[in-house]
Amino acid sequence: MSEYKFRESEKVAIWTADGKKCFYERTPIHYCDLQIDHIVPERISDSELSKLRPLLPQNFEINSIENWVACHQGCNLRKGAFVFETNTLLYYLEMAKKRAAEARKILEEFSVQRENDRLLSTLAVRIEQGYLSRETVLSAIRNVPETPNLRSDPWVISFGVNFLDPLPVDAPERDPELSDWLIRRLERDLAASGAIFQTIDNERSGETVSVRCAFWVFDFDRITEAIDFCWDVLAIQKYSELFGVPADEHLDRAVVARYHEIVDSDSGPIGISACPNCGSNDLEYSSFNNERDTLHFARCRKCGHSQSS
C-alpha cells in the first residue's frame, strides 16, 4: 500500500479537532512540528487487517478521518507500524470517531474557501481576457443583497523564513533590506494564489523573519505550494482565538486590495506587468492623491526603472 500524502487542509482539520495536542500524549503541538498518524497502521499486513476486520467499525477505511490523529514526530516514529492491543485500538478509534464531525466541518470550510478562490480566480481571468468588463462585474455585485450574517472570523496563518537553503542571488545581503525583500516576495506569492488576505504584523530578530496574515478567501493547499521555498507555515488559527475581537477593519482592507487586483487585472494600476527596461515582473506599485486625481507609479525592484500613469 502506497503511503498517503496528506493535504495541508487535512492536517489542519485533524490538528484542530484534536485540540492542537498530541492524541497519544495530550501535550500541545506546534503546527510546524505536527505529524498525522494512522491508529490502524497504514502499513499493516493484509493478514493482520483481515483478523481485525470483524472488530472494526462497518465501512472502516485506513485513510479516513476516523483513523487519523495528530501527534508529535517522536510518537509517530516510535509507533511506526505497531498494532495496538485490541481494547486499546478500539478505544482510540472511538475517541477519533467522536471528533470526526468537527474535523469534517473544518474540511468543509476549507472546501468552501477553495471554491471561492476558484471562482475569484476565474473571474479575474475572464476580465483579463476581455470576456467580462469591470462595469458588468460591479453592476452584478451591486445587485446582490448583502448577507447580514457574514462571517468575518478569518484564519490567521503565521509564516517563518527558513534560512537552511541558500537565498536567490538577487536577494539583499543584510537587513532591513533583506527582510523587506522576503516579505514582499511572500505577499506577492499569496496574492498570486488568488487569496483575499491582509498582513497583520511581522517580526524581525536579525536572524529570522515571521509574518502573520489573515485570510478570508483562500486555498490552503494552493498557498503552501505557491509560497517561496524559504517560507514555512508555522501556525494557523482563527483570528478570534488570537485577538478576541472581530477582524472587520482588516477585512475591508483585504477586499479593497483584492478588488483592485481583479478589476485592474494583474497588469497593475498603470497597465504594465513587467518592467519595460529589463523585463522583470518584480514591480512595486504606489499611488499619490492630489486635488483632482490619483497618480499611479510602478518601480522595478531589479533595475530601479520607474513609470507613472
Amino acid letter for position 272: I
Range in 26-30, 215-219, 269-273 with the lowest mean pLDDT? 269-273
Q: Which among 194, 117, 212, 205 has a CA at the least distance from the CA of 155? A: 212
Angle, helices 134-142/100-128, rounded to nearest 10 degrees: 140
Residue 271 pLDDT greater than 90, yes or no:
no
* Separation CA 4–CA 17 (nearest Å): 20
Q: How many CB atoms lie within 10 A of CB 38?
A: 19
In SS3 terms, the chain reads as: CCCCCCCHHHHHHHHHHCCCECCCCCCECCHHHEEEEECCCCCCCHHHHHHHHHHCCCCCCCCCHHHEEEEEHHHHHHHCCCCCCHHHHHHHHHHHHHCHHHHHHHHHHHHHHHHHHHHHHHHHHHHHCCCCCHHHHHHHHHCCCCCCCCCCCCEEEEEEECCCCCCCCCCCCCCCHHHHHHHHHHHHHHHHCCCEEEEEEEEECCCCEEEEEEEEECCHHHHHHHCCCCEEEEEEEEHHHHHCCCCHHHHHHHHHHHHHHHHCHHHCCCCCCCCCCCCCCCEEEEEEECCCCEEEEEEECCCCCEEEC
Ranges of each domain in the chain: 8-98, 107-263, 268-308
pLDDT (tens digit per residue) in 147-194: 655 557 889 999 998 776 677 778 888 888 888 888 988 988 888 888
276 preceded by cis ω (within 30°)? no
Cell of 83: 498494532
| 44-61: pLDDT as tens digits | 888 888 989 998 988 899
Instruction: Give tens-digit pLDDT for 182-217.
Output: 898 898 888 888 888 889 899 987 778 899 999 988
Q: Long-range contacts for 54-60 (Cβ within 8 Å, ≥24 apart)? A: 55/86, 55/90, 56/93, 57/93, 57/97
| Strand duo 283-289 + 231-238: pairing | unpaired
Model-level pTM greater than 0.85? no
pLDDT of residue 66: 95
Match 497618480 to its residue by C-alpha cell.
Answer: 295
Sequence-separated (6 or more) residues with CB below 8 Å from residue 30: 234, 235
What does the block give as the cell for 62? 485506513
Split at pLDDT 50, 70, 90, the class of 28 is very high
Q: What are phi and psi of 65, to 5 degrees?
A: -60, -35
Tens digits of per-residue pLDDT, 241-256? 888 877 766 665 665 5
The pLDDT of residue 1 is 45
Least confident piece of the model among 39-53, 108-122, 235-249: 235-249
* Higher pLDDT, residue 186 or 294: 186
Whole-number mean pLDDT of the chain? 81
